[in-house]
Chain A
Amino acid sequence: MTTYVLKTLWRHRTRTLLTVTGAAVAMFVFCFVGSVQEGLHRLTTGADADRSLIVFQESRFCPTSSRLPEDYSRKIKEVAGVREVMPIQVWTNNCRASLDIVVFQGADPEQIRRTRPLTLTEGDWQTFSSQRDAAIVGRNVAQRRGLKKGDQFSIGEISVNVTGIFESSVPSEENLIYTSLAFLQYTRGLDAAGLVTQHEVRLTDDADPDRVASEIDAVLRSGPVATRTRRKGAFQASTLSDLVDLIGFAHWLGYACVGLVLSLVATTTVMSVQDRIKEYAVLQTIGVRPLRAMRLVLAESTILCVAGGISGTLLALAALEIGGFAIGAEGATISFQPSLALAVTGTLVSVFVGLAAGIAPAVQAASVPIVNALRQA
């Protein structure tokens, strides 16, 4: 019986191929949209987003406009619940929303190594901390910009020597380039000696993030610059708030893709069954049960949908893996990454949509009035 289904699909291979291609394109878009959603979700959840704080200048958004004294870190350190403070200078080529944003963060190399969940896949920490213009580049940026160890990378007023490539367990971090703090502070045009963009605070295990945050702001109120401290996840979400709205809207696009696949596969299957309605009457005359006739049609629609859906999903995963795409604004980035969850979702959606698309034609095939169908020439 499987032979029958496969041979039927093969007989109308042009129609089959067109349907499979359509389903593949739609599922490609579906997975892409899904990966953007996932990226956003990752950015605002997880230990890194919840258990660390960002101290930023009050009512400032773009990293170039936040200027905090570097020695705030001493005062912050004294607040109860703070384990470690890392002053960071941020530089970005573009404060607006962009698909090719490059974000530099300057901090003490030793502290980066100790506090960030990084693994160097090329280069070593020794060279990074000993050279003034040394930079370690996140995997995604390296992929997008084609960078490797030993390259000189220049953008705007900044020119660095790539001494390493890193991977991070926090995916959005793979869109960053780390340099030493002093290097970014003394970059021409930034003029930030003694100043930093933000302080990143790591908390002790028992600390309540929100309480510590307001305490930090209270302590620093007496200083020259007022601050606003938030959890890292909340900070990034608010920085990207325009994009977040847009991405929230994009999930409708994902649903639209599913609807598209459904109607495409359903149309093809209905056409196929109507063309062969007499065949289903013959099969039932031979002794094929109505339910079995139904299963044959469901198999047909599911094969179409799964073939298209899985190819689309695989292509999307491959594109995400190779492309290293990210979208960012004001120094925060969302990375689009392939994931197992995405692969599983893509496959399951294909199976369910395939089954759903087959229901109407399956009922048609099962309930065909046998005698009337046989009387047709």
Chain B
Amino acid sequence: MALVELRGVCKSFRKGDETITPLDHIDLDIDAGEFVSLMGPSGTGKSTLLNLVSGIDRPDAGTITVAGTEVTKLSRSKLADWRAANLGYIFQTHNLIPVLTAYENVELPTLLLKLTSTERRQRVELALEAVGLSDRADHYPRQLSGGQEQRVGIARAIVAHPQVVVADEPTGSLDTETSEQVQTLLQRLNKELDITMLMVTHDSDVAAIASRQLVLDRGKFLEQSGTTPTRKAEGDEMIKQFG
């Protein structure tokens, strides 16, 4: 059984008289340890898909199972507990808490788990080390550069040792050089810590670091590239087209 499993997932939004259906009976399997990238034109529902997988939004129909838990069945409060233990969320605009230092921001998710203070400190220190920011622990977000802020955001997403990390355009607001640092970091986390990743991006170069690349358009996955060698070229074409 796949780690992440979507079956017949639908989601539509009403805007006045108009109904938009970004996701229309979507099926998707992601295996443990995979690094999946998701591309597609703006407004096709990529963020919506991430939000459904992470349980901060609910589908209109279909089921979503992550690591054996059917998240579509959980209450809001149970979902929060589940996220605390199993899911990391990397935002495009990092969304750090401005009044807390880098250390305290990364520490937040660990406060929701049953850990001793030593374990907690070790985890925070390891996470900060993994993103190369041990020396910035006492800095406030406003004292960090955009790339550093994003890395703190990544440390916060992995500190609880989640099974799955979702990232919504993690490099979207970074310059090329910083973006590359973050890409390398995500790749390392996937390989070295064996974290399953689902990442939305508009940049085909960024998408290329993933082990599997998906394209979403008009409510369906158009093509999955990298799954089989023969279809890879086709998929790459799509990525060029929509990225």
Taken together as a complex, chains A and B put the C-alpha atoms of A17 and B112 apart, in Å, by 31
> Contact at B99–A287, with CB atoms within 8 Å?
no
Residues of A within 8 A of B109 (CB): 286-287
A283 at interface by CB-CB < 8 Å? yes
CB of B104 within 8 A of CB of A287, answer: no
Residue B89 lies at the interface, judged by CB distance under 8 Å to chain A: yes
Complex-state Cα separation, A23 to B56, whole angstroms: 38
Instruction: Report whether A289 and B99 are in contact in the complex, using a CB–CB cutoff of 8 Å.
Output: no
Could you tell me if A371 and B85 are in contact, using CB atoms closer than 8 angstroms?
no
Interface residue B108 (Cβ < 8 Å from any Cβ of A): yes
Q: B57 at interface (Cβ–Cβ under 8 A)? A: yes
Indicate the member of B80, B85, B97 with the most A CB atoms within 10 Å.
Answer: B80
Instruction: Tell me the bound Cα distance from A370 to B57 in angstroms.
Output: 8
Contact B81 A289 (CB under 8 A): yes
Q: B-facing mask of A40-57, CB < 8 A → 1, else 0?
A: 000000000000000000
Tell me the bound Cα distance from A371 to B57 in angstroms.
Answer: 7
CB contacts (< 8 Å) of A145 on chain B: these are none
Contact A7 B57 (CB under 8 A): no
On whether the beta carbons of B100 and A286 are closer than 8 Å, the reply is no
Q: How far is the CA of A136 from the CA of B194 in the complex (A)?
A: 88
Contact with A along B155-180 (1 / 0, CB 8 A): 01000100000000000000000000
Q: Number of contacting residues on A, CB 8 A?
A: 22
Smallest CB gap from B99: residue in A: A7
The size of the chain B interface, using a CB distance under 8 A, is 27
| A370, B100: Cα distance in complex, Å | 21
Name B72-109 residues within 8 Å CB distance of A: 76-77, 80-85, 87, 89, 91, 95, 97-100, 104, 108-109
> Would you call A232 an interface residue if the criterion is a C-beta within 8 Å of the partner chain's C-beta atoms?
no
**With known contacts A3-B104, A4-B100, A7-B99, A287–B85 Cβ distance under 8 A:** yes
Q: Kindly list chain A residues whose C-beta atoms are within 8 Å of the C-beta of B95.
A: 278, 282, 374
Task: Tell me the bound Cα distance from A287 to B111 in angstroms.
Answer: 10
Determine whether the beta carbon of A371 is less than 8 Å from that of B80: no
CB pair A8 B76 closer than 8 Å: no
Residue A11 lies at the interface, judged by CB distance under 8 Å to chain B: yes
Query: Is A288 at the interface (CB under 8 A from chain B)?
Result: yes
When each residue 93-135 of chain B gets 1 if its CB lies under 8 Å from chain A and 0 otherwise, what string results?
0010111100010001101100000000000000000000000
Say yes or no for A358: interface residue by CB 8 A criterion.
no
Q: Is A256 an interface residue (CB 8 A)?
A: no
A279 at the interface (CB under 8 A from B): yes
Any chain B CB within 8 A of the CB of A1? yes
**Inter-chain contacts of A11 with B (CB < 8 A):** 98-99
Output the nearest chain B residue to A282 by Cβ-Cβ distance. Answer: B95
Most A-side CB within 10 Å, residue of B76, B81, B109 = B76
B interface residue numbers (CB < 8 A to A)? 51, 54, 56-57, 76-77, 80-85, 87, 89, 91, 95, 97-100, 104, 108-109, 111-112, 156, 160
Known: A3-B104, A286-B156. 6 other contacts (CB 8 A): A8-B99, A285-B83, A287-B80, A287-B84, A287-B85, A290-B77
- The 26 sampled A-B contact pairs (Cβ below 8 Å) are A3-B104, A4-B104, A7-B99, A10-B99, A282-B97, A284-B80, A285-B83, A286-B83, A286-B108, A286-B109, A287-B80, A287-B81, A287-B83, A287-B84, A287-B85, A287-B87, A287-B109, A287-B112, A288-B80, A288-B112, A290-B76, A290-B77, A291-B77, A371-B51, A371-B56, A374-B91
Q: Which 4 A-B pairs have the closest CB atoms?
A: A287-B84, A7-B99, A287-B83, A370-B56
